[in-house]
Structure 1
Amino acid sequence: MLDPALCRQARLSRDARFDGRFFIAVKTTGIYCRPICPATPPKESNVVYFDSAVAAAQAGFRPCLRCRPDSAPDSPAWRGTQTTLERALRLIDEGALQEGSLSCLCERLGIGERYLRRLFQQRFGVAPKAYALYRQCLFAKQLLHQTTLPVTDIAYASGFRSLRRFNDAFKAQIGLTPREVRRESTERSPELILRLAYRPPYAWESLRDFFISRHIEGLEWVDERHYGRCIAWGEARGHFTAEHRPDRHDFLVRLELDDLRMLSPVVRRIRRLLDLDADTSVIETHLTQALPGLPLIEGLRLPGVWSLFEAGIRAILGQQVTVAAARRLVTTLVATLGEPACESEGQVRYHFPTPSQIAGSDLTFLKMPESRRETLRRFASFYRQQADSADEPSTWTALKGIGQWTADYATMRGAGDPDIWLAGDLGVKKALPSLNSHDPAGAAPWRSYLTLQLWSQSSLSLQTSSRPTSSRQASSRPTRSR
């Protein structure tokens, strides 16, 4: 439940740390805003608070054209605590109801349609399809504000099959027509540029250094203010470069994608890769209370990997070797099997190899034990054959050569799971004395951030590998640094 007194203080101070954690609806205007809206604050008697944009829209309010609630970071709080609901929201945001039916979504979740509808009614007061439709319209509104894409292209990029359907849905959900929103917009660019906001603080230097030490030439690029990489989503291919702008609490993302229908899930994946939706003030308050005396880096974020498959491959290649050696192996794999993307400054860029490309190669170009090559091929074949079920790392441990460490590490970086504790990691073990004998279990549900905080304290976090003490442990405890 939202605390009205806390919300009032946050909106009057326009505290950016609360951006996306709640929304302010004004009864006299019928508009809902972000806490950072530059408009003159309304009287408290005219204000209603909502914990999500969907809830505000369901109550009959339309989004503000000045602060643009469609651009606010998502708050984990409104997603609830039920695993099924969280997974349903993630799949819907990735386009599950645009590409398939509600029954197909329920089959992937392993639940009935009636139960899923009940979860959404209890949490948002709307059906799953109504939720998905509103999210599509908010994304379209963001594109109308920030790009000069034709309205027809924006309709398809937002998941609509026809311009007429898009216009009708947008008017019903937003309260304005697409052309009315575009007429009000003053910050458009001829490029496909998006502004992805976050709640401060944001420890960009720590994230940047983590990426720099592990970035793969040809696949990724990192410098003082930027991170970019080649990306793939289904059959769509492209690349992006994100520029950090600390004064605006956002990233300016320049994106190229050859299939705009995949734009919405791609943007969601970029947000996850940069961990833009984390509320680090809440996380660090919890860690401080659970583990008194633990020194913390303020605003530390989880450094993501584009996909679970890529995270798994990188973890396997990092088994029992240094960060530098693992990086060389991944670079060789990408340059040998990756699909060429484009040229930039005289250098060829590549997409990360697909499961079929890795499974069909003998991998002899990789200088490592044959048993590890077999593990790579086995893992890639599993991904090629199992489709959706392969995106559950808990199933990976049935494969020879992959242990719990690999599955957990890939879950943390490839899926952005906030509650992974890598107890067997050498870097974590070295930093354990800083916990002052407190139980790490108290850090739940933010143990991934605890792991990252401990890595930052360990001199081994960027330099060494987590070498198993026996051959039996090798498959379950690869190098932590990958």
Structure 2
Amino acid sequence: MYQDFENCVRAVRSKDARFDGWFFTAVRTTGIYCRPSCPVVPPKPENMTFYPSAAAAQQAGFRACKRCRPDASPGSPQWNVRADVVARAMRLIGDGVVDREGVPGLAARLGYSTRQVERQLLAELGAGPLALARAQRAQTARLLIETTGLTMTDAAFAAGFASIRAFNETVRGVFALSPTELRERARGRAAGAGPADASGTPGALSLRLPYRRPLCPDNLFGHLAATAVPGVEEWRAGAYRRTLRLPHGPGVVALSPRDGHIACELRLGDLRDLAIAISRCRRLLDLDADPVAVDELLSRDPVLAPHVRKAPGRRVPGTVDGPEFAVRAVLGQQVSTAAARTHAGRLVAAHGEPVRDPEGGLTHLFPSAEALAGLDPQALAMPASRRTTVTSLVAALADGTIDLDVGGDWTEARARLARLPGFGPWTVESVAMRALGDPDAFLPTDLGTRRAAKELGLPATPAAFTRHAEAWRPWRAYAVQYLWATTDHAVNHLPKD
């Protein structure tokens, strides 16, 4: 969109928050870049330049606006709805792969050469993988400076900087303030109206995760709470809480819906995992979606239109761990939600890693594929055929035959899952929807979807239903959420404490 100058100017003049994250506005006369919804008086069009990423604006020498804080805007919805190499690269960069494995590691995961990856990112985003990772480190540094009492040295290394000098130079270059000045400014806001997107809480990081309005929390949090695995997830005091398996240690997060943001409280074993934890929570709640675009298309169908008007902004519940969800999908085949939770809870109690949760009842991380690879099938209280499905899946996940991480290839993952015993279309598409994040995943054979279709007068057979759903592309996963919402099930309601 950033190449459409007239549309970008209109979005900036109208301060349209829907386009935050889609592009960034740089003002040549001030050397500052902003989000489209910046509250300041819009500059003259001849002084505007538009960039597709914060990293590109920073690389061109522009500093982040202190009013609208563009580095904290919702991410571009492109990276979670596309399956090409640039989108996969952006998801992996957001998950910290460049910081952990470098650009060669990123390229290896994508199956391209380093030069090919750099060339494609530069062509579309105006910045290479190192610059994009640097922009993410700057955002993480700001959060640590503003929301914790860490020394600047500890904040620098927790944010992923190799030296204090690089930390100081990056913070000053991006925010036009030294780290100390940034902290003093945040304390000044806290003494007044409070920070724009973060505030400190003793013993935890309390953040605000932005999203594009509207957002319907009912099915999002209702689904997560209704399917919560004992010991790994829970609903407590108005928040969905769960454990997180992160590169440097375990974490616990509490997420609760608020007006205009999601309240996020994180307790991390290692602060180097902050950016990764935030990225995974955003994917879990589908916070980078563009609900206006989704609902506009689905409303063209007269059958769906009244349901979209009734509760707009439905999101697709995701996951923080692709392999975890795949295992849970198999455990939930042809059984009730309660039975699926029971099976998963037993697996967690037997093979999960213990964690400490002083604030609630979380006890374990969900077991990794490697931990389940040696699972005794006879220990699973389910039919023999499903035992085979579970063991085949965890073996393929453990040896890398199937990649369900954030940068995985959706088409290849589907094909390899379909070759496993016991993996029919329902399971494959459930994994594609929730674990891979494919917004066009569709479940025509799902019991809830079929009941909704029958009630609404939609075609009854899977083939005819799929043909009708062609008009919902590329948002069929969102259509499924609206279809499910027509039934009275716990997944469609915010849980009560």
Question: Taking structure 1 as the reference length, what is the TM-score of the superposition?
Answer: 0.86
- Matched with 2:426 is 405
Aligned 8 A contact 1:70 1:142 in 2 = no
The 2-side partners of 1:346 and 1:102 are apart by 39
Whether 2:317 is the aligned partner of 1:316: answer no
Q: CA deviation at 1:120?
A: 1.5
Q: Which amino acid aligns with 2:427?
A: T
Whether 2:430 is the aligned partner of 1:416: answer no
Q: 1:114 to 1:22 in 2, by over 3 A?
A: closer
Which of 240, 259, 273 is the equivalent residue of 2:284?
273
The 1-side partners of 2:297 and 2:78 are apart by 14
The 2-side partners of 1:154 and 1:57 are apart by 21
Name the SS for the 2:427 alignment partner. helix
Structure 2: where are the runs of 5+ without partners?
191-198, 460-466, 493-497
Q: Which segment is superposed worse, 264-273 or 156-165?
A: 156-165
The 1-side partners of 2:124 and 2:171 are apart by 23
Q: CA deviation at 1:30?
A: 1.7
- Matched with 2:299 is 288
Q: 1:213 to 1:429 in 2, by over 3 A?
A: same
Q: Deviations over 1:312-339 (max 9, x none)?
A: 1111111111112112211222223222
Q: Deviations over 1:366-417 (max 9, x none)?
A: 4211332232222222222227746453222322222343222112112322
Q: Deviations over 1:251-287 (max 9, x none)?
A: 2211111122222112100110011111101111122
Aligned 8 A contact 1:97 1:105 in 2 = yes
Q: Which segment is superposed worse, 442-451 or 199-208?
A: 442-451
Q: Which amino acid aligns with 2:227?
A: R
Q: Deviations over 1:403-437 (max 9, x none)?
A: 34322211211232212112222222333354856
Aligned 8 A contact 1:229 1:240 in 2 = yes
The 1-side partners of 2:157 and 2:457 are apart by 51
- Matched with 1:194 is 207
Q: 1:335 to 1:80 in 2, by over 3 A?
A: closer
Which of 223, 234, 239 is the equivalent residue of 1:221?
234
- Matched with 2:448 is 427
Q: CA deviation at 1:359?
A: 2.5
The 1-side partners of 2:418 and 2:83 are apart by 25
Q: Percent identity?
A: 38
- Matched with 2:28 is 27
The 2-side partners of 1:387 and 1:100 are apart by 20
- Matched with 1:244 is 257
Q: Which segment is superposed worse, 446-455 or 397-406?
A: 397-406
Q: 1:64 to 1:42 in 2, by over 3 A?
A: same
- Matched with 1:57 is 58
Aligned 8 A contact 2:81 2:439 in 1 = no
Whether 2:382 is the aligned partner of 1:381: answer no
Q: CA deviation at 1:48?
A: 3.8
Q: CA deviation at 1:202?
A: 0.7
Question: Taking structure 2 as the reference length, what is the TM-score of the superposition?
Answer: 0.84
Whether 2:487 is the aligned partner of 1:455: answer no
Whether 2:373 is the aligned partner of 1:359: answer yes
Which of 257, 261, 265 is the equivalent residue of 1:254?
265
Q: 1:88 to 1:423 in 2, by over 3 A?
A: same
Q: 1:82 to 1:118 in 2, by over 3 A?
A: farther
**Count, aligned residues:** 460
Q: Which amino acid aligns with 1:284?
A: D
Q: Which amino acid aligns with 2:288?
A: D
The 1-side partners of 2:42 and 2:96 are apart by 36
Name the SS for the 1:222 alignment partner. strand
Q: CA deviation at 1:153?
A: 2.5
Q: 1:350 to 1:30 in 2, by over 3 A?
A: same
Q: Which amino acid aligns with 2:214?
A: P
The 2-side partners of 1:260 and 1:71 are apart by 18
Q: Which segment is superposed worse, 57-66 or 6-15?
A: 6-15
Q: CA deviation at 1:129?
A: 1.6
Q: CA deviation at 1:146?
A: 3.2
The 1-side partners of 2:80 and 2:421 are apart by 36
Q: Which amino acid aligns with 1:285?
A: E
- Matched with 1:480 is none
Q: 1:235 to 1:28 in 2, by over 3 A?
A: closer
Structure 1: where are the runs of 5+ without partners?
464-482
Within 5 A, what are the aligned runs for 1:110-259? Answer: 110-186=111-187, 187=190, 188-189=199-200, 190=202, 191-223=204-236, 225-246=238-259, 249-259=260-270
The 2-side partners of 1:417 and 1:192 are apart by 30
Name the SS for the 1:305 alignment partner. coil
Aligned 8 A contact 1:147 1:193 in 2 = no
The 2-side partners of 1:388 and 1:155 are apart by 35
Q: Which segment is superposed worse, 271-280 or 180-189?
A: 180-189
Q: 1:389 to 1:414 in 2, by over 3 A?
A: closer
Aligned 8 A contact 2:222 2:491 in 1 = no
